[in-house]
Each structure stands twice: as structure tokens, then as C-alpha cells.
Structure 1
């Protein structure tokens, strides 16, 4: 019986999490590419490159991977065996959710950065970012011989769809949380939210409410976490916020409810569109902004400077994030196992919608 056949039919003992040798758990599970990567101390993308004899893998790294493959008796899946062995100079880009300002800016910059590096981009846009749809779109891109895939993801479900799946090409996730085994590039959503709340605290506000984004959104969760943590640090007990869907309608509905229950001193909205709805609710209630209530948003969309009043908000450098995604792609394809780009900082932009109490 040959080694490949034994690898399919015999259970493989798993290495322990620290790679010291066979462990005692999950003994009946066949080894995966991720087990090989963990034992060899490399990324699963590097294992794929070794399996397919692609260039730019250091000899010492290749030897470690091959040793781990032998030790685990790893047999590549059909998807891994189907990997291309020639360079296509093409990457795949999966953009999920609605074509809002932020994601659209990232997609545009990835395309520009790829062109500068001599790569073409095949782009797929998915409004329905369920795991099933994302995996189908990604499989299509792999069939088109892409060398790597950039995933612009807002929802946790989107990134989690890749757990345990041997995609076969490097995956770079533009996402606010580090989830799974993808290489991540991100903006500091948490720090931006903290800066927004700190600004309001410095102005003397204590009753600072939050209009949160939808559950499952990584951006929303990081901004909610930053708001909550900063208030707790200031000795203020946060009032659990209501969640919106990023739209002005949601900001208007939630803002109207906040005002009816008792006008808060300040409102931090999870994005500029919901902040716009809050401004509408305040105007309708004949409240002055910022005279009666200060409002701060997040994103700094181009229209934010022209709201009435102009909106204090947190600016995100979406273009730099798109460039970071392409830097990460090139690093992985060149077998550079250094750290991905650090999270991009956000910047508070103070305008007329906030003032001292």
C-alpha cells in the first residue's frame, strides 16, 4: 500500500498546539494544510507554495514544510492539488455588502495598487455575503487562476466562512477583527471610537449615548467596544444602545426615540449616515445642534463637511487601507513571513456639530 493511500485510510495523530509532537486530542481527524503549517511554523499559504513547487520559498522553509508533510502523512485535498503552478499575475477581489463610500474606496485603491504592481484584478461584488455565496465566489476566482484573493469583509460570517477550508491561494482579509487564518489588514476602529468619546468628555459631556451599527458587523462591534470602554474608564455607566442598519432612516428613528426619552447631552453615531438621521431628528424636535445636543459620527464621508451643521467625525484613510491590502498580497506571494501592515490610525475631525457644555 503506497503512502498516499495510507494517508487517506489511516487516522493521523495530531501535533500538539505548540508543535512539539503527537498530541492526544483529535486522533481520528485527518491532517489538514493548517496542521502542516502549524508544525512547520509557517503560514498555510507557504505550505501551498511548497506543495505546488512555486518559486520564492527559502530552502530552509521548504525543508521544514516537507518534513512536516512527511511526519503528518498529509495528503493534499483535491482543491490543493488543483492549484496552478504558473504565474497568472492576477488576483481576485471579493467585496461584500452595499457599495458604500468606505468599501468602494478600498476596492478602487486595491485595483490601482495592483495595476502599479503589474497585476490584473478580477472583482466580485456580493450584497448577500452569506458563507455559501462567499465560498462560491471564491471558488470561481480560484478557477480563474488567481494567485491570491483579497476579501473586503464587514460581517464576521464572511470571514468565518473560510475556517478549515483549504482555499489553496493566499487570502488577505480587509476586516476590523482578526479572525481565522487569513492575513489581515485593518483600520483602528476601536481607537477611533475612543477618540470620539474622549473629545466629547473633554467638552464636558457626561451623558454620551451611542447609535450602534448592526450585530455581526465587525466595524460596529469595534466602535461599540471603544465607546463603552472609554465611558467606563471615565467612571460613567454606559446605557445599552439601540442598533441601526447604517442608514439615515435608522439614525432618525433611534435619534427620535432618544430625544423622546430625555434629550442626551451628546450622541456618538457609529457612522456618518446615522449621524445625519440624528441631525434630522434633532431639527424636527426643534433642538439645536450643538446648542442642545452634540453629535459625532464616524467615517468622514465627503458629504459630512456639508451637513447642517458640519459634522464632527472620525476620518478613516480607506485609500491607504487598500494599498496595505496589496502590500500584504505581494509580501505573501514573495514568501515574506513578516508581520502584515500595522492597523491604520483614524483621525478625529472637529467641526461645528460638537461644542463644550
Structure 2
């Protein structure tokens, strides 16, 4: 069994993260304070002036907590992984663990990256659920919104788009009309899009001053979905700012490497949840390919068998009654989900979502949207969220 450590990126931050780690690793914490010019422990545990949600603070904070989480693993006797990967900002942690640069050099890169990205204004992003990249691009083209880019290919059921905020707002009704769930994200910049080219150009000047070493452990790159090699580290980090994060492709590459265990280090479990979707799609694809291969081999054997040309095999008839029952069951699921939700959770229920750090609040009862989707209206976000994408807050 091989093992991959994955590190989360922006969006996973929360007040109190790394609480037990700063005092356990005082030397690294002190180095971080010196580089950043402020107390990383205070930032993460107290979140003064809501700074954790500002990009220039979010990125260094996550980098440090992710790095200390790995140090804790090693200190506790865990062996090094076979592969590494990180989502956007998290990729810097993967590279640091692989020995491409030191903790200090990585933090300096992340500090500069966060400062440059925080300067991007008037941008917006949105998560598009249960749609393909091809379908999303088709909708944007038909809506004359080709100014919007694909930012994150997180899983087949979760893709993030990025562009000017006014264009993201214009896109919303086109996706609703196509019966596709569209969730605006709380960001100020159009990250991982063409609108980050200026920031990438500035970042390049800084990156070129950094020395990179050959990876000791394979790190799968966001921009290619394949492992880094020594000569392309700088360019990949520059390109990452304005190109898609190909997370699903990266994880699929790792699944192709044999039996693989994935463990998320750092803050939260966003990548762990995504891995569930990716594994499901991967298993489905493998089964389909195996089935097609078996069918092809069967045809070859039939054609080679004596007398096979005289009598063709009869096609297998589908059991219509069974098919009908399955379809009816699928259609009844969202109805039952809505009924169960409304029995337990009143309007005003506090919920959480993988797409937001803060708690949200429902503004309506759950309903059947588009005739088959269980959804609830969320206060302050002008839109319905799929019930499968929100979770009620449990109060003690």
C-alpha cells in the first residue's frame, strides 16, 4: 500500500487552527514570526480584525499550520509518504516536504504570493456543481461570457469558475436556467484565471531569486496533473496563479499508481471529501473500461469460434419493469430528503458548507428545485444550496 499526503489551500482556514502545534514547535514558530513580522500564533488563535480571511494573512497562516502538521506526523514516528500533493497554496507545503525548498524559503514565497493576490480587485468566483467542464464552457460561450475561466477542476461534481465579479453575477441565471447548481464564493479576486497574469508577472521576479532543489518525493503539480521535475518548479509556481488547478486529474494520476492511501494534513477535511467523489468516478471509469474490454474480447472469441458467422447472438432484452422501478426510486429520493429536512430543521437553521468558512443561515424551507433537486435558500447569498452540500450546525 502506497501513501500520499495532501495539503489544503485557501478556504480551509479557521480561527483556532494549529492550537496545539505552535508551542510544540517553538523554533519554527519563531522563524515564522521573524519572516512575517507578526505573531503567527496570535493570528491563528485570536484572528484579530478577522485577518485570517484576508488573503495576505490566510496563505502564510495555512502554510505554517500545514507545515507544523507534517512535522507532528514525523515526530510521532510516521514514515515519509510515497507521494505528495497540495491544493493551490497547499502545493507549497508539498514541495517543502519534498525538499525542493526550506520552510523559511517557502514561507517567503507564500508571503509574497499572498500579498500580490490580495491586490487583485473586482474579481469573483463560483462553484458549479454536478456539471462537466465541457458543459460549463458551452454555457459561458452561449451567454457571451468567455471572459470567465475555469479555476479549479476539483472533481467531476465540483468545478470552480473565475472572472470579473460582474461577469460571475451575469453568469448565475444562465446556469440556473440549465438546471445546474451555482454557488457564488466569498472571494475578492479572480484567482487561477487570466486576471492574475499581472500578479504572476510580479511573482516571477521574486521566484527567480529562489533556489530550488530536486524533489526527494514525487509532488504532483496543479497545473499539469503530473509530477514535478527539477527544471520546471519555478515556471509551474508562476503558472499556477493564472491557470486551472487540475486537482481531479492530479488525484486520478495517483490512483493509477496502484493501491493508494490518502491522508489530508493541516486544516479541515475538504480534500478528503473531494477524494470520495474522485474515487467514485475513478472506480466507475475503471469498471466501464473493464466491461468494454471484456465485451471486445468476447466478440473476438465469438468471431473466431467455428460456425460463429451462421447465427448471431440474440440481444439481451432489458427488464422494463425493473428499469421503471429504479427510475421511480431515484425521483422519490429528493422528495423524501425535503420531507425529512423540514420535519427537523426550521427556517433560520444554522448550517455549514465546504465552500464557506463562516456559518450560514437558511431563509426558506427545503423545496424540490427544477423538479428533482432538494435545495434550501441561504440568507445573504441570493441562491439555493443543494441539501447535500450543507450540514446543520450541531449545538452542544
Taking structure 1 as the reference length, the TM-score comes to: 0.29
More strand by share: 2
More helix by share: 2
Select the structure with the greater relative contact order (CA < 8 A; seq sep ≥ 6). Answer: 2
